[in-house]
Amino acid sequence: MIQFDEKIYFYLLAIIPVMVLAFFFLQIWKKRTQKRFAKTKLLKRLAPNRSSFKSAVKLAFLLAGLSFLIIALVNPKIGTKLETVKREGVDIVFAIDVSKSMLAEDIAPNRLEKAKRIVSEIINQLASDRIGIIAYAGQAYPQLPITTDYGAAKMFLQSMNTDMLSSQGTAIDAAIDLASTYYDDSQQTNRVLFIVSDGEDHSESSTTAAVENATQNGIRIFTIGVGKEKGAPIPIKRNGIVESLKKDNQGEVVITKLNEAILADIADRGNGEYIDGSNTDDAVEYIKEQLNRMDKTEFEAKQFAEFKDQFQWFLAAGFLFLFLDIFVLDRKTQWLKKLNLFNEHDDD
């Protein structure tokens, strides 16, 4: 496992593309200026030992050196000792709706981003609970199995989008059935499932059966509604720009609405509660209170206990490339000149 001490220094890597662009435009300017001064053949005779490719090599060394030094500032650490620790907590699974209706922007910035933000904030409030993530639309897909690695959970969470599943719809029943397989039967922990959705376009009969099976397995189901009851159209975007709105077979603009009644019914049948996700802070605070009231079960989890600094390797590599950059001269190397690898011989 890898950890980073100072992730903020990664922003310094933005200087790399800036330097590449600056070098590119500088070369264009130099060539134009040289052409005004003399013809190419004359310039080669005036500076016969000047290399035409070493400036790019020097830049590559400089950029590599800076990149390694920046990574050294970040200070990557590698876990060297894995140990088993005992924790007390609840097993929580988040089932997140990634159907196209979640692109509606009746709640800023859109329903899916709002759902991801709520789940991320809930994770921030957890201490020793285990979490898993499921994505679902017309089918359910396991995104992350039960784990105590909150960092990995957030990474998988942010990667979720409405294009990850080809089949459309809102198969809440499939998400519940899949969630039931996440929990470890050998450890009788409290089991909680959070369904984050707008509740639209699902099969009510099959969902009812799935909820009943889940409750029999000791799973409490909470639902979090994202969206507005008045609804909104579904934008179709390209490169962040709205090109059109989704339409039905009759050519009418589709208006997708939050179905609170369905979500509340699922929560009621699942011995949980329906939570309005309009206000992130209020929703997260309420969920935190609900989780704190639940009995915590002790379970074992593996985690890295010791991490070793690795910055010294990147520091050494950075100085090596900077050293090479200093001692690589712009003039031609004689043995390379004889090989003529870059067709640099003067024209007779």
Q: Note the pLDDT of residue 186.
A: 62
pLDDT of residue 115: 96
**pLDDT at site 302:** 60
* Most trustworthy range by pLDDT among 125-134, 265-274, 314-323, 333-342: 265-274
| Predicted confidence (pLDDT) at residue 48 exceeds the cutoff of 90 | no
342: confidence class by pLDDT, cuts 50, 70, 90: very low
Convert the pLDDT of each residue in 185-230 to its tens digit. 666 678 999 999 998 866 666 788 899 999 999 999 999 999 999 9
- Predicted confidence band at 335 (pLDDT cuts at 50, 70, 90)? very low
Pairs from 24-33 (Cβ < 8 Å, separation ≥ 24): 27/55
Res. 93: pLDDT tops 70? yes
Report DSSP state, residue 149.
-
Q: Domains plus CATH for the chain?
A: 2-75+310-339 (no CATH), 83-302 (3.40.50.410)
DSSP conformation letters of 132-201: EEEEESSSEEEEEEEES-HHHHHHHHHT--TTS-SS-S--HHHHHHHHHTTS-TTS---EEEEEEE---S
Q: Is the pLDDT of residue 54 over 80?
A: no
Name the percent of the chain lying above pLDDT 90.
47
Q: Would you tell me how many other CB atoms lie within 10 Å of the CB of residue 66?
A: 19
Does the predicted TM-score (pTM) go above 0.85? Answer: no
